[in-house]
Amino acid sequence: MSQEWVLTPIIYVLGVGLYPPITYVLGEWVLIPITYVLGVGPDPIIYVLGEWVLIPITYVLGVGPDPTTYVLGVGPDPYHLCPRRVGPDPITYVLGVGPDPISYVLGVGPDPISYVLGVGLDPISYVLGVGPDPIIYVLGEWVLIPITYVLGVGPDPIIYVLGEWVLIPITYVLGVGPDPTTYVLGVGPDPYHLCPRRARQQRPTMERERVYLPALSRVAVCGGTHGNELSGVHVVRERLKEKQQRVDDDEEEDEDVVSVSNILTNPRAVQQCRRYTETDLNRCFTRATLSSAVSDRTPYEIARSQELNILLGPKGSPQAVDLVCDLHNTTANMGVCVIAYSDTDWICLHIFKYLQHHMSDVPVRYIHFDLPCREAYSLDSLGKHGFALEIGPQPHGVVRSNVYTYMKTGVELMLDWVRLFNSGTVFAGGLVEVYTMVSAIDYPRERQTHNIMAAIHPELQDQDFCLLRPNDPLFETFSGATLRYQGPEPLYAFFINECAYYEKGIALSLARRRSVEVPPVQMKSGLEHPGDPGTSEEEEEED
Amino acid sequence: MSSNNVASFNEARRVAIFGGTHGNEMSGVTLVNLWMMNSREEIQRKGVETQPFITNPKAVEKCSRYVDTDLNRAFTTENLSAPNGKDLPYEVQRAQEINRLFGPKGSSEAYDVIFDLHNTTSNMGCTLILESSKDHFNLQMMNYIKKAIAPDSCPVLLNEDPGLKYATARSVAKHSVGLEVGPQPQGVLRSNIFEAMRIILKHALDFIELFNEGVEFPPCTVDVFKVSERMDYPRDANGNIIAMVHPNLQDCDWEPLTPGDPMFQTFDGKTIPYEGAGAVYPTFINEAAYYEKQQAFVTTRRETLAANAIRKV
């Protein structure tokens, strides 16, 4: 990589990345090749790349292999550079910016540049100005950029390899130099907001053609599939009550736009406040179980699954309801999750995007169970489209008002989306993050009794959607020993310590995260009885 | 029994630790199983015979609170004296068995101390439960434990009112102590909750060892929360609940609730305020097992109990 040199006054310099550290002297001019940028906060930060440099920093800038593309941070606080000293641990990243959004003004070289950079707990729109063409990045859009350095923020720094492309949602962006797409800066409470790296030959087109899909005229809102997951039970009961109230008050039901059924799917389990009476209803919707012969010795839930198949299906047929939304709770600290079998069902992905946009005070995530249609076993697979709305943490048998409210709001937002969709609204496309389930880990168990011998490690408990790296703590035995994650690749942990999964041999589940490009969608008029959902001919294949 | 205001008690030589009285309250199940398999040294103390015991094995096996009826309500005089029979509910049979092994309740052969390990979905921290305000041995134990874990706290709940207390498994012993640790969902084992319970028990056993060695514990006072009233959820004509614990009250166990404060939130979003006579301290807020017992939370009032000095006979 050829290096160009630039003469600049230096206030501080920070070296991070593969290239050697940079020497600078406060107040003097020095020629430096700059290959990286750093994060700065109110606390002084120690950087080491081979050697230790102690410097207080209040902001940072990103630079790539082209040294004319960085901006030095200069702020209200003059810095004192300490003489470098060799320390025990070389550091290859730079840090953290504190909780308060900070404004940075950067000026470099002959063209002073103003940047406004928001950093901190609240995602902020950034304006990047570089050279003669200031660039505005809008929060939430995705940008594909080559990584020229990596910036670690928070307790676990992330190291990126220079030169590979990474697709990231913009929650913070810092661009410097004539080509603003030369680095990525991660700042804020979630430093793992980057997608897995993948090599790219060219920048993909971000414009996708609109996909036309049939209207969703029949929607089912289902609760009590597990009788002790109470938010869903009460949301369905309340919706039935409200519907009855409208009938009593002689109000009109606007069934023109969409017809909604509210169903308690496992009433016996609800009545007993148990997950199930004989077998888990939410595993009874495979084609094999739905078509099995029924006698008076058939478990209640199997008979019930066949009844529901008649009511909402038949599964796979043109008569099936358009959309099933199945309400669930978990004891795991998962926030709001939309769980579906597909990562190309644009209806589910758009509903998820809509919920995420409108539910700003709780994390909303999309979990993809990568199973082919013929193996789908849950209630939501009855509809042409379907998903589970899983909200936690909530103990089974308890209704927590905040969780109930999230669920009620989620259902209302989903139906708002359906009504808008059915009325012809065009929904813009974009990139969404999807967690695809890869595997699960069971508790360590005693050989003879099969009893568990350890609990989820206190550092992992409640940390759903954290990145679990090889050697991270996983379990703590009852005698206090730490058992660590031995998998080969870092994966995102979820369903951490879900009560109902003890009997299924699952202590936690693991997922890979990636972005999926969702095309714009619009209802296809004149097509009320669709063919395959989500795979119309207009759809483009991703590179 | 006391001279110069020092209450004398026999050495507490036989101590039992009950787990699994509710089969889905996992900390106690796990601790007792652990101590029964190995790690017995953890609960050994000089001069004390400590017996860990799973009280409701069938419920533990099913990971449910109970099989036929709540074991922790089953130790009534009527049940304990009912003629032995196979058609008795499982838990009543168990109560009779436990009364034989660790009682008989009220007799001089009964175990000296029983600790009964429980979890709750309520945010109660490590709560110790007493059934009598006049058991100076127990009061001194509470004082010892509180001092040992300071600055962490463990509230003491006193449930003494005959109309409110219930016939617990631990009541067969001369001195009964309930340990209620939360929040933890039923059927789930949380490492921090498990460790907290373990530490409280360690201090309790240390106290017994010291007492048996002849240490005299000087008079002390113990702040307790005395159960005052049970508050049910608002219900409709069919008995279905129509409101949830209000978000402002959820997880606020042991914090004062003043008249006018939000108490419940209906499913369609309206707030129902607390309308008592004065401030109370609610606890057992939103305990899963109490929905069927018509209890959203209990109110308590603060009291300071005086304990005499104690020493062994």
pLDDT of residue A67: 28
DSSP bridge pairs for A327: A389
Q: What is the DSSP letter of B66?
A: -
Which pLDDT value is given to residue A157?
A: 28
CA-wise closest residue to B25 among A165, A397, A279, A221:
A397
Residue A528 pLDDT greater than 70, yes or no: no
- In this predicted model, what pLDDT tens digit does every residue of A214-236 receive, in sequence order? 999 999 999 999 999 999 999 99
Q: What is the pLDDT, as a whole number, of residue A127?
A: 30
Q: Residue A200: what are its φ and ψ, rounded to 5°?
A: -135, 140
Gap between the Cα atoms of B115 and B177, Å rounded: 5
CA distance B66 to chain A (A): 12
Measured CA distances, A207 to A179, A196, A242, A486, A518 (Å): 21, 22, 42, 41, 10
In the DSSP assignment, the letter for residue B162 is: T
Gap between the Cα atoms of A37 and A317, Å rounded: 56
**Which residues are CB-contacts of A198 (< 8 A; sequence separation ≥ 6)?**
A164, A165
**What is residue B4's predicted lDDT score, i.e. its pLDDT?**
59
Q: How confident is the model at residue A451 (pLDDT cuts 50, 70, 90)?
A: confident
Contacts of residue A42, defined as CB under 8 A and 6 or more positions apart, other chains included, come to: A58, A98, A100
Please compute Rg for chain A using Cα positions. 27
pLDDT at residue A217, as a whole number: 96
Alpha-carbon distance values, A489 to A309, A468, B125 (Å): 40, 9, 37
Q: How far apart are CA A34 and CA A55, in angstroms?
A: 17
- pLDDT value at A453 more than 70: yes
Give A312 or A451, the one with higher predicted confidence: A312
The phi-psi region of residue A140 (left if phi > 0; otherwise alpha if psi is between -120 and 50; otherwise beta) is left
Interface touch A478/B288, C-beta < 8 Å: no
- Cα A435-A412-A527 angle, rounded to 5 deg: 80
pLDDT in tens, A10-41: 333 333 333 333 333 333 333 333 333 333 33
Q: State the pLDDT at residue A15.
A: 36
Q: pLDDT band at A434, cuts 50/70/90?
A: very high
A106 vs A104: CA distance, rounded Å = 6
Res. A154 pLDDT band, cuts 50 70 90 = very low
On whether any CB of chain B is under 8 Å from the CB of A234, the answer is yes
Segment A325-373, tens digit of pLDDT: 999 999 999 999 999 999 999 999 999 999 999 998 999 999 999 988 8
A263-275 average pLDDT score: 96
List, run by run, the mean pLDDT of 10-residue segments along chain B (313 residues): 74 97 97 89 93 97 95 95 89 97 95 98 97 97 97 96 90 97 96 97 97 96 96 93 96 97 97 95 95 93 96 93
Confidence label for A207 from pLDDT (cuts 50, 70 and 90)? low
> How big is chain B, counted in residues?
313
What whole-number distance in Å separates Cα of residue A356 and Cα of residue A338?
Answer: 10
**Residue A206: count of CB within 10 angstroms of its CB:** 13
pLDDT digits (tens, 9 = 90+) for A65-84: 332 223 333 222 223 322 23
Closest chain B CA to residue A457: B191
Q: What is the pLDDT of residue A327?
A: 98
Please give the pLDDT value at position B40.
86
Nearest by CB to A401, from B250, B291, B292: name it.
B250
Residue of A2 and A109 predicted with greater confidence: A2
Sign of CA dihedral A22, A25, A30, A34: positive
The overall average pLDDT reported for chain A is 69
Q: Which residues, other chains included, contact A449 with Cβ-Cβ below 8 Å and sequence gap of 6+?
A: none
Q: Which domains does chain B have, with CATH numbers?
A: 2-220+306-312 (3.40.630.10), 225-302 (2.20.25.160)
Handedness of CA A96, A98, A101, A104 (dihedral sign): negative
- Using 50, 70 and 90 to split pLDDT, how confident is the model at A109? very low
The pTM assigned to this predicted structure is: 0.76
Give catalytic residue positions of B. Answer: 180
Q: What is the pLDDT of residue A488?
A: 84
- A-chain residues near B250 (CB < 8 A): 400-402
In this complex, the residue of B30, B186, B247 whose CB is nearest that of residue A499 is: B186
**Cβ <8 Å between A401 and B245:** yes
Q: Residues A159-200: pLDDT tens digits?
A: 333 344 444 443 333 333 333 333 334 333 332 333 333 333
